[in-house]
Amino acid sequence: MKKLMEQVMNDVIDRKGEGDLILSSSKALKMSAQNGEINEYKVSSSQILGVRVIRDGKVGISYTESLDDESLKLFVKQAFENAEMSEANSNEGILDLSGHLSDEADYPESEVDVSVKTKKTLELESEVKRLDSRVKVVPHSSYTEGESKSLYLSSAGRSTSYFDKSYTIVGSALMEDLGRKANYYDYSIAHTFDQLNWKKVLETSLFHAGNLLDEKALPTGKYSVRFTEDTLKSIIGCFSNFYSAQSGMEKSNPWIEKLGEEVISKDLSLKDEPLYPAAFRKSLFDSEGVERKSLSLIENGVLKNFYHNSKTARHYKAQSTGHASRGAGSSLGVDGTYMILDGKNKKPLPRKYLEVIQADGLYSGANRITGQFSVAIKGYVWENGVRTMTFGNITLSGNLMELLKTAEVVGEQLVASTDESFFSVPLMFHDVSIAGT
Amino acid sequence: MKLLSAEVVQDVIGCGLSMGADFVDVFVERTQSENMVYRNSRVEDSQSGTIFGIGIRIVYGNQALYGYTNSTEREELLRITKLLAARIGKSASGKAVNFESLKYSKIATLLDKEIVALDKISKLKKIDESLRSGDPKVSQVILNFMKKKQLVEIYNSDGLFATEERPYIRLYQQVILKDGSLQSEASSGPGAIGGWEFMENFNIEESTEMLLKQANTTLYAKACPAGKMPVVIDNGFGGVIFHEACGHLLETTSVEKKASVFWDKMGEQIAHGALTAVDDGTIDGAWGSLSIDDEGMPTQKTTLIENGVLKRFISDRLGEQKTGHKRTGSGRRQSYKFAPASRMRNTYIDKGPYSLEEIISSVPDGIYAKKMGGGSVDPSTGQFNFAVQEAYLIKDGKITTPVKGATLIGKGADIMTRISMVGKDLKLMAGMCGSVSGSIPTTVGQPPIKVDEILVGGEA
Query: 3-class DSSP state for residue A146?
Result: strand
DSSP structure string for B149-193: EEEEEEEETTSEEEEEEEEEEEEEEEEEEEETTEEEEEEE--EEE
Give pLDDT tens digits for B415-451.
999 999 999 999 999 999 999 999 999 999 999 999 9
Q: Inform me whether the pLDDT recorded for A94 exceeds 80.
A: yes
- Cβ of A395 within 8 Å of Cβ of B380? The answer is no
Q: Inform me whether the pLDDT recorded for A13 exceeds 60.
A: yes
Taking contacts as CB-CB distances below 8 angstroms, the residues of chain A near B43 are 85-87
Confidence of residue B94 (pLDDT cuts 50, 70, 90): low
Q: Inform me whether the pLDDT recorded for A145 exceeds 70.
A: yes
Question: In terms of DSSP H, where are the helices of A344-395?
Answer: none
- A245: closest CA of chain B, how far (Å): 15
Give pLDDT tens digits for B193-226.
988 889 999 999 999 999 999 999 989 999 888 8
Q: Which of B50, B63, B228 sits opposite A71 (nearest CB)?
A: B50
Beta-bridged to residue B382, according to DSSP, are: none
Among A260-264, A394-398, B207-211, B231-235, whose mean pLDDT is lowest?
A: A394-398
* Interface residue A91 vs chain B (CB under 8 A): no
pLDDT score, position B110: 52
pLDDT score, position B92: 76
**Residue type at B244 in one-letter notation:** E
pLDDT score, position B114: 65
pLDDT score, position B111: 57
* Interface residue A365 vs chain B (CB under 8 A): yes
Taking contacts as CB-CB distances below 8 angstroms, the residues of chain B near A114 are 87
Q: Which helix (H) or strand (E) holds A41?
A: strand A37-55
Give pLDDT tens digits for B102-161.
777 777 665 566 677 788 899 999 999 999 999 999 999 999 999 999 999 999 999 999
Q: Inform me whether the pLDDT recorded for A54 exceeds 90.
A: yes
Give domain A2-212's CATH superfamily.
PmbA/TldD superfamily (3.30.2290.10)
Give pLDDT tens digits for A124-134.
999 999 999 99
Confidence of residue B361 (pLDDT cuts 50, 70, 90): very high
Phi, psi (deg, nearest 5) at residue A210:
-60, -45
Taking contacts as CB-CB distances below 8 angstroms, the residues of chain B near A374 are 387, 405-407, 457-458
Give pLDDT tens digits for A196-226.
999 999 999 999 999 999 999 999 999 999 9
Q: How many CB pairs under 8 A join A and B?
A: 234
* Interface residue B189 vs chain A (CB under 8 A): no
The residue in chain A having the minimum alpha-carbon distance to the alpha carbon of residue B383 is A393
- Cβ of B460 within 8 Å of Cβ of A435? The answer is yes
- Which one has a higher pLDDT value, A111 or A64? A64
| Mean pLDDT for the stretch of residues A227-238 | 95
- Cβ of B457 within 8 Å of Cβ of A43? The answer is no
* Interface residue A36 vs chain B (CB under 8 A): no
pLDDT score, position A178: 86
pLDDT score, position B106: 75
The residue in chain A having the minimum alpha-carbon distance to the alpha carbon of residue B38 is A86
Selection from B433, B239, B443, B244 nearest residue B341 by Cα: B433
The residue in chain A having the minimum alpha-carbon distance to the alpha carbon of residue B61 is A39
Selection from B348, B345, B331 nearest residue B240 by Cα: B348
Strands B398-404 and B160-179: unpaired
Instruction: Please tell me the distance from the alpha carbon of residue B172 to that of residue A5, in angstroms, as a whole number.
Output: 34
Give pLDDT tens digits for B31-78.
999 999 999 999 999 999 999 999 999 999 999 999 999 999 999 999
Query: 3-class DSSP state for residue A423?
Result: strand
Residue B20 in contact with residue B88, Cβ under 8 Å? yes
Give pLDDT tens digits for A73-86.
899 999 999 999 99
- Cβ of A250 within 8 Å of Cβ of B47? The answer is no
- Cβ of B375 within 8 Å of Cβ of A82? The answer is no
* Interface residue B172 vs chain A (CB under 8 A): no
Best to test chain A binding among B54, B409, B415 (most A CBs inside 10 Å): B409
Q: Which of B64, B140, B458 sits opposite A250 (nearest CB)?
A: B140
pLDDT score, position B445: 95
Q: Inform me whether the pLDDT recorded for A106 exceeds 80.
A: yes
Q: Which of A42, A67, A85 sits opposite B43 (nearest CB)?
A: A85
| Mean pLDDT for the stretch of residues B221-234 | 92
Taking contacts as CB-CB distances below 8 angstroms, the residues of chain B near A38 are 63, 87
pLDDT score, position B258: 85
Q: Inform me whether the pLDDT recorded for B93 exceeds 90.
A: no
The CB-based long-range contact list for A204-207 (8 Å cut-off, 24+ gap) reads: A205/A128, A205/A171, A205/A172, A205/A173, A206/A128, A206/A131, A206/A132, A206/A135, A206/A173
Q: Inform me whether the pLDDT recorded for B412 exceeds 70.
A: yes
Contacts of B83 (CB under 8 A, 6+ apart): A43, B67
- Mean pLDDT for all residues in chain A: 94
* Interface residue A345 vs chain B (CB under 8 A): no
- A409: closest CA of chain B, how far (Å): 24
* Interface residue A54 vs chain B (CB under 8 A): no
Beta-bridged to residue B66, according to DSSP, are: A42, B57
Rounded to 10°, the helix B6-18/B74-85 angle is 20
- B445: closest CA of chain A, how far (Å): 18
Instruction: Please tell me the distance from the alpha carbon of residue A144 to that of residue A26, in angstroms, as a whole number.
Output: 13
Q: Where in chain A is the domain with CATH 3.30.2290.10?
A: 2-212
pLDDT score, position B187: 92
pLDDT score, position A20: 97
pLDDT score, position B383: 83
